[in-house]
Chains A and B, each alone.
Chain A
Amino acid sequence: MRAFTYERAKDAASAARIVAGRPGAKFIAGGTNLLDLMKIEVETPTHLVDLQDLEFDKITPIAGGGLRIGALVSNTDLAADARVRRDYGVLTRAIVAGASGQLRNKASTAGNLLQRTRCSYFYDTNMPCNKRKPGSGCAAIGGYSRQLGVIGVSDKCIATFPGDMAVAMRLLDAVIETVDGDGASRAIPIADFYRLWGDTPEQDTVLKPGELITAVTLPKPLGGKHFYEKVRDRASYAFALVSVAAVIQPDGNGRVAFGGVAPRPWRIEAAEALLPRGAAAVTARAFQGATPTKDNAFKLPLATRALASVLAEAKA
């Protein structure tokens, strides 16, 4: 870990201004991912702006239905919120399927959205990694790739976005609200929030330097049955091999998004129209053009089978 300076932000606009104006500065909220990465020098910020004093820790109703979730609401509080559990069950299920109780207590909503990939090569600074060190190459291509992406990846990077919460938020059409260093705010639909790697895998999202997430909003509830099926190698505390977030309506229509397969929560709206025709039809469309490796090709049939499990349960 490199030495760094530290301050506690007083308000969102000044926090954004400081980070935007100072190369090497970063925000810190729960720190559950950032501090790990700093210890092994994958992240080497020179200045940290701590957001914990900002009052973004509330969940409030939005006129016309929906919820605004403050950026600093902990994963535990968000998952346990009665309104979320009642109206957005898929979100609660996704959150509690991730990490551990201790981490969820500390992790924030915005931080969860911004967690970085868990690719083993990204974590080892002796290895080439375009995401960590642009231009150095990708050790994962041709290497250990069982956990990595099967679609939306590039010849520069095959990492996945590893989270669960964001998969449910993508399904729910959440919108991410930000403020930037100039004090301007904007609302980014989560569908547009995560980048595909292309030639610049070092950049995970469309956020500009210093742009700070202040809240995430959920549109009004969808109804239907909510599912989050997370398939992994052990029963808890593991990243998804494949996860399926779904809301299925009584008529068999619905929405579906996949986690653990791509640089972003993977939702193809055109594929959802095929839900009444069954899982195989949906995944054939959703994963059209997939480029799996030998080690992770199983994710494609697994996605189909996991969705089939969800659809069977929805009918039951």
Chain B
Amino acid sequence: MKFDKPAGKTPIDQLKVVGRAHSRVEGQLKATGTARYAAEHHEVAPDVAHGYILGAAIGKGQIERIDTAAALAAPGVHAVVTHENSGPIGIGEFYAQRILAGPMVDHYHQAVAVVVADTFEQARAAAGLIRVTYGRDDEGQFDLAAQKPSTPIAPDEPFGGSTNQRIGDFEATFAKAPVKVDQTYTVPDQAHAMMEPHATIARWDGDQLTCWTAIQAMNWGCRDLGLIIGTPKEKIRLHSAFIGGGFGGKGTTQSDLALAAIAARVSGRAVKVVLHRPLMFNNTIHRPKTIQRIRLGAREDGRLVAIGHDSWSGNLRGGRTEPCTLPTQLMYAGENRLLRRYLATLDLAEGSAMRAPGEAPGMMALEIAMDELAEKLGMDPVELRIANDTQVDPSKPERRFSTRPFVQCLQEGAERFGWQSRIAKPGGRREGKWLVGMGMAGAIRGAPIMSAGARVRLGTDGRIIVETDMTDIGQGSYTIVAQTAAEMMGVPLDSVTAKLGDSTFPETPGSGGQAGAASATAAVYAACAKLRGMVAQRVGFNEADVAFADGRVMSGGRSVPLVDAAKEGEIVAEDAMEFGDLAKQYAQQTVGAHFAEVAVDAYTGAIRIRRMLAVCGAGRILNPTTARSQVIGGMTMGIGAALMEEMTVDTRFGFFVNHDLAGYEVPVHADVPHLEAHFINEVDATMSPLKAKGVGELGLSGVAPAIANAVYNATGVRVRSYPITLDKHLEKLPAVA
């Protein structure tokens, strides 16, 4: 099915199932521990061997000698895979990293060897017996700040828009702007830190490879795995039915998957590889640190006339920037703009996609700068943002936003949160030992939608089965896919079974870039539309005049049970939704406003969130329950980004030092107070027949700066370097002793 003009009325608009709150259809499996994750598929390889990865002990250099004799002689060991016996290893398309070191070591904890043994314990113990002699490269670069002065603007990239956007005359306008902000902000390296580690069971049957793994984009995973191990992707089948969190960290093929496949090939056994937690931080990808300079020039009335955003990040050779200027391209009006991204070469683990790449860290800078501008103008931060709303793409004024209820988000949010009670003067509210403050930030995040396929089956029992390679990393894909099919086929939700996460199913973009919900449901729509036609034909109704409701098919006063259509056997329809150029005609984005109230201990400087609100404009909300879950999950991640998450680089040894969950702190329950998520009632007909967008990344974008601004409002001390830990403002707080 082709979608190339805005949707009119569609069967989805009935909203009998879609748009209604449903708890997760797979919730019982998860709550009872019967949903099986990658490493738990014991039946597929009863004699599975265990692979344990030994990570490189240096940041940059080479392996001079690797002695595996003792490991090979250890009990239960079948093989030790190193660069000397792995066979050729390629690089995937999405990541630049090399999966196995040798002889060069590109970054700390890059895999050096995989030990394959009968048991996990044997493999781990044997890994400790491998002796590697390294030659350290003294030229390794690990310090973004040190590299910054000599870092060039990045070449064009496939993601994140232009790395060098210049509109109007930024320099001259900024120079003479009556009110200005010019500040530099830093966002540290951050880890996805999802609960389930990367994990794979790989099994070869002849030249056919099957893997049970945890991966967000199945067909990208097949493509990249094929490139890395030199196997045609048609010979690879991946299963990822359940995934214990990803946040982008399981985008495509990581070392667990590639090395399980290689180790299985070398050892002749099915092999399971699970990354142990201390390896995850330096072995796989992360959100790279950024240094961002924001320059805002405004008129006395608050209207922006000049917006400058320069962002520096580093990466392995071949890696991309963290696209922090992406949100600034569309967030606010302003005729003169200069948005640049610089890319340094760093010899740390690869920087790549983590929830809202670009938007999350970009807005962490831009939205503090807006708060600083509001203060200089003596203007309310909500009013400043309203004054700078735009309904068109500032770089192409003829290109309108498809929908952009940004002002509505700001106004409804201010109303719901009680924003008028905020005391504008920082440090102006004291409750006992607590300094209390309120802050807010705007939010924007792209609403990408990509071609996606699905297969729908009407069984002889009247049940509907949907098959698509969409994944569910916790966001509720199973539920919204089933809801879409139920709505289309006129059956209750419990008459639909969604099957996801199998690379042999029709292709979708998977879970990433908050494109999954919109894309996958559009695919299900297309396949169901085809199935509706086949059903109508089977029961002898006119395809153009047929309705599906209450488990029946109706046309012109006649009505038959849906199940009758499958009397002769199962009916199967497969189709894909292909998208025209609506995304070029319209700026398709999600927008929002985040509000936070914090309390800062006047003595210790400790920061505690009191309450938070997100108001989101994200098209039709397919399921308020799972959408809310997505948004409050994003808000929780935003609390971490604002207050505690930082992978600290040791620039001498070249690695992230705090590489476990004791050292890398993420929010615990006690850090997360009452969170409220509210959705603007809107539809976006330019997206798909569902008129829906994703929300998973919008829920994070703008959260951390809202908290940062609240902390400033509480204390009067502006911190421009995340995370805002108490040591950064302690000595500027009022004296207490």
Contacts and interface: CB of A to CB of B under 8 A. Distances in A.
Q: Do the two chains belong together in a single complex? A: yes
Contacts of B731: 298, 301
Q: Top 6 closest A-B pairs, CB basis?
A: A309-B603, A235-B670, A308-B737, A126-B57, A298-B727, A279-B737
Given A231-B726, A298-B730, A304-B737, A238 B670 contact: no
Q: Is the interface of A mostly helix, strand, loop or mixed?
A: loop
Interface string A211-249: 000000000000000000101111111110100000000
A298 B730 CA distance: 8
B669 A1 contact: no
B657 A1 contact: no
Interface string B643-669: 110001010110001111011010111
A2 B128 contact: yes
Contacts of B653: 127, 139, 143
B41 interface: no
Give the interface SS of chain B, mostly helix, strand, loop or mixed. Answer: loop
Interface stretch (A58-66, A79-87, A116-124): A116-124
Contact of B652 (A142, A238, A307): A142
Interface residues of B, number: 42
Contacts, number: 109
Contact of A305 (B608, B657, B669, B736): B736
A40 interface: yes
Interface string A18-41: 000000000000000000000111
A306 B662 contact: no
Interface of B: 57-58, 75, 121, 124-125, 128, 278, 433, 601, 603-606, 608, 643-644, 648, 650, 652-653, 657-660, 662-663, 665, 667-671, 723, 725-727, 730-731, 733, 736-737
A244 B606 CA distance: 14
B730 A236 contact: no
28 contacts: A1-B121, A2-B128, A40-B278, A120-B657, A121-B657, A123-B660, A123-B663, A124-B659, A127-B653, A139-B650, A143-B650, A144-B658, A231-B726, A232-B606, A233-B725, A235-B668, A236-B671, A239-B662, A298-B731, A302-B605, A302-B726, A305-B604, A305-B730, A306-B603, A308-B737, A309-B603, A309-B604, A312-B736
Contacts of B723: 233
A280 interface: yes
Contacts of B128: 1-2, 41
A9 B242 CA distance: 44
B608 A235 contact: yes
Contacts of A183: none
A142 B653 CA distance: 11
A239 B664 CA distance: 12
A231 B665 contact: no
B667 A309 contact: no
A118 B615 CA distance: 40
A270 interface: no
Contacts of A307: 737
Contacts of A40: 278
B425 to A, nearest CB: 23
Nearest to A127: B653
A47 B374 CA distance: 65
B604 A302 contact: yes
Given A144-B658, A305-B603, 11 more contacts: A1-B128, A39-B124, A118-B662, A120-B657, A120-B658, A144-B648, A229-B604, A233-B644, A279-B737, A301-B730, A305-B604
Contacts of A41: 128
A184 interface: no
A306 B665 contact: no
A229 B652 CA distance: 35
A241 B167 CA distance: 47
A35 to B, nearest CB: 12
A62 to B, nearest CB: 36
A233 B660 contact: no
